[in-house]
């Protein structure tokens, strides 16, 4: 098997992720500059700088490790409140150093341009701008997929005919299986591949699910079927055979029971498989679909400890890795490579990749909204806390409003969260190397 498609998939994913991260950071930088905050750096990636160029007062660049990015907003942390003494413990020193480093970035006479001096609404706009851009990217990509390409659907057009009535719902009804079985009603009635069924039993047919219901209701009874063949309507007579039929979902896929076997119900059998098509969706379907994906991702984040334990258990035991298991960047890259190596039409693979990229952007949105520093959600919570204090002070008609919240005090939390994220990432990377999730 050639490794080239996999490499192409990895590179395409890398570019897609870096563009998404770059746009995320623009979502922070543009409103920050608009509100007068000095932005000293705009970087995509972490670690050593590979390339950079200074334009105006901002250095734009690319770093060696493509696992994130940042914009350096001057004055993220305010000076220590009056009367604050520098502590001597490890965490106290950490807080003081972080505060001093932030204050040192503010040029003399430019205190009004420090981020901490922004009003609460402006802080919220700046910090929410990044995740919001990821949500916009996901919405755009899903719009391309749903409106421009469409979703898989089952039509009422005949794709293939069965030779006979199957002995069981799992039979193929072809070849040697048909030696002692009656001919399939569809073939006996004269249906042909390419026929579009437009009416059955005197009822106009508009969907596959409706047609299945009409066939089941007509089991054992001769019924009139009207097909569109070569642009002309042709009327045939068919008698659906009585048999147990598998229960199917809206896409025509069999529904499985708790034992893993197909669920069955009494019904009728005609003997043809429908043509699989793609139906372009209306524009209004995009936002609900993105909302549903966001909710599912948020549910995964809420149950993350359990899912992490499941992934580790499945990876390091004989238990099979679940297809919906959480993955690291290594696992996502592997899937991207598998997508490009699929034996499918290039457009199908492109849409599959766009769907993956849309999911990643939704994950970036949800993940960054976690209300803990150093994530954007932590800064949003801090801004809301600061605004709440000032609102209470206004209601009480305080002579002096509270100053900016002392964000530096949350530095230990940011360090702990960062270390946890590193540990979780390491576990998932090992799991994806040992027992990766596969789509094929």
What average pLDDT score do residues 333-344 get? 80
pLDDT, position 342 = 78
CA distances from 404 to 81, 93, 121, 384 (A): 9, 21, 13, 11
Q: What is the pLDDT of residues 377-401, one digit of tens each?
A: 999 999 999 999 989 988 888 888 8
Dihedral angle of Cα 117, 119, 123, 126, to the nearest 10 degrees: -90
Residue 253 pLDDT:
65
Ranges of H-type helices in 344-401:
346-368, 376-395
Q: What is the pTM of this model?
A: 0.83
What is the chain's mean pLDDT, rounded? Answer: 86
Highest mean pLDDT among 181-185, 192-196, 321-325: 192-196
Residue 2: predicted pLDDT: 67
How much is the average pLDDT of 287-308? 92
Residues designated catalytic: 25
Q: Which long-range contacts (C-beta less than 8 Å, at least 24 apart) are formed by 106-111? A: 106/74, 106/75, 107/38, 110/38, 110/74, 111/75
pLDDT digits (tens, 9 = 90+) for 268-288: 888 888 888 888 899 999 999
pLDDT score, position 250: 62
The tens digit of pLDDT for each residue in 404-414 reads 888 888 888 88
Fold of 152-279: Pdz3 Domain (2.30.42)
Average pLDDT over residues 321-342: 82
**Could you state, in order of their start, the residue ranges of all structural domains in the chain?**
152-279
CB-CB contact of 185 with 271 (8 Å): yes
pLDDT attached to residue 327 = 85
Which comes out higher in pLDDT, residue 207 or 24? 24
Distance CA 248, CA 78 (A): 61
C-alpha of 122 from chain center: 29
DSSP label at residue 280: P
pLDDT of the residue at 67: 79
Q: Binning pLDDT at 50, 70 and 90, where does residue 440 land?
A: low
How far separated are the first and last CA of the chain, in Å rounded?
14
With bands split at pLDDT 50, 70 and 90, how would you rate the model's confidence at 1?
Answer: low
- Answer whether residue 173 shows pLDDT above 60: no
């Amino acid at each position: 098997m050639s490794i080239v498609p996999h490499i192409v998939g990895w590179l395409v994913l890398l570019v897609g992720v870096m563009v998404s991260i770059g746009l995320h950071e623009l979502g922070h930088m543009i409103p920050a500059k608009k509100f007068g905050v000095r932005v000293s750096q705009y970087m995509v990636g972490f670690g050593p700088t590979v390339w950079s160029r200074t334009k105006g007062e901002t250095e734009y660049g690319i770093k060696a490790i493509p696992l994130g990015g940042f914009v350096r907003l001057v004055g993220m942390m305010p000076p220590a409140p009056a009367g604050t003494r520098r502590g001597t413990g490890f965490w106290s020193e950490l807080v003081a150093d972080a505060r001093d480093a932030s204050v040192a970035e503010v040029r003399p006479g430019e205190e009004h341009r420090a981020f901490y001096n922004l009003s609460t609404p402006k802080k919220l706009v700046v910090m929410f701008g990044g995740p919001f851009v990821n949500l916009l990217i996901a919405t755009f990509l899903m719009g391309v997929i749903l409106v421009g390409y469409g979703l898989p659907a089952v039509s009422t057009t005949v794709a293939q005919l069965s030779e006979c009535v199957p002995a069981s719902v799992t039979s193929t009804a072809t070849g040697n299986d048909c030696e002692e079985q009656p001919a399939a009603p569809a073939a006996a009635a004269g249906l042909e591949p390419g026929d579009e069924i437009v009416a059955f039993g005197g009822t106009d047919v508009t969907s596959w699910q409706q047609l299945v219901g009409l066939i089941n209701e007509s089991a054992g009874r001769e019924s009139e079927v009207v097909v569109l063949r070569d642009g002309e309507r042709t009327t045939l007579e068919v008698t659906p055979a009585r048999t147990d039929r598998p229960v199917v979902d809206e896409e025509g896929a069999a529904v499985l029971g708790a034992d893993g076997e197909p669920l069955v119900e009494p019904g009728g059998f005609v003997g043809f498989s429908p043509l699989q098509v793609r139906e372009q969706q209306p524009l209004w379907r995009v936002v609900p679909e993105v909302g549903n994906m966001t909710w599912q991702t948020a549910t995964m984040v809420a149950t993350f400890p359990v899912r992490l334990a499941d992934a580790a258990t499945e990876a390091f035991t004989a238990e099979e890795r679940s297809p919906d298991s959480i993955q690291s960047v290594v696992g996502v890259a592997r899937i991207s490579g598998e997508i490009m190596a699929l034996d499918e039409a290039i457009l199908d693979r492109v849409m599959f990749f766009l769907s993956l990229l849309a999911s990643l952007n939704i994950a970036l949105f949800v993940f960054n909204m976690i209300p803990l520093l150093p994530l954007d959600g932590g800064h949003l919570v801090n801004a809301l806390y600061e605004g709440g204090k000032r609102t209470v002070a206004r209601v009480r008609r305080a002579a002096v409003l509270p100053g900016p919240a002392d964000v530096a005090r949350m530095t230990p939390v940011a360090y702990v969260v960062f270390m946890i994220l590193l540990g979780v990432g390491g576990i998932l990377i090992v799991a994806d190397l040992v027992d990766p999730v596969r789509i094929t």
